[in-house]
Amino acid sequence: MADKSDVLQGTLDLIVLKTLDVMGPLHGYGLARRIEHVAEQALALNQGTLYPALVRLEQRGWIKSAWGVSDNGRRARFYNVTRAGRRQLHAETESWRKTSSIMARFLEVDHT
C-alpha cells in the first residue's frame, strides 16, 4: 500500500509541476482539467487527490498559491511554480528520463 502510493505520489507531483510550468498559474480545477486533457482518458484522476499533492508541494516550497478570480468570474485559488520548483522539476525530469530510458532498453532486450 505504501509503495504504490509513493510511486503515484512521485509521478503526480512531477505531473503537477510540469503542468504548472508549461501553463502558468492555474486553479485546482483548471489543473485537473488540463491533466485529464493531456492524459486523454488514459489516467483516471480522482480530482480530490490533487489537493493533498498541492499542499505537499507548497509546504516544500516548490509552488506558491494566491486567491484570484477565474475566467468565468468565480473566486479560486491559483497555483504557480517557484524557482525552487523549477529546479526540482528539472532534476526530476532528468532522473525520470534516465529511468524510463533504462527501462525501455531492458524491455527491448527482453523482446528480442
Question: Bridge partners of 81?
Answer: 63
Number of amino acids touching other proteins (CB under 8 A): 25
Nearest approach in angstroms of CB 84 to other proteins is 8
For cell 489537493, the residue is: 51
Q: Which string of x and - marks every residue 57-86 that binds other proteins (by CB under 8 A)? A: -xxxx--------x-x-xxxx------x--
Residue 15 in the binding site for other proteins (CB under 8 A): no
Residue closer to other proteins, measured from CB, 42 or 48: 48
Distances (CA, A) of 84 to 35, 51, 87, 106: 22, 20, 5, 33
Which has the closest alpha carbon to 29: 44, 50, 14? Answer: 50
Q: Which string of x and - marks every residue 35-54 that binds other proteins (by CB under 8 A)? A: -----------xxxx-xx--
Among 29, 38, 92, 96, binds other proteins (CB under 8 A): 29
Which stretches of the chain are assigned E, i.e. beta strand? 26-27, 63-69, 75-81
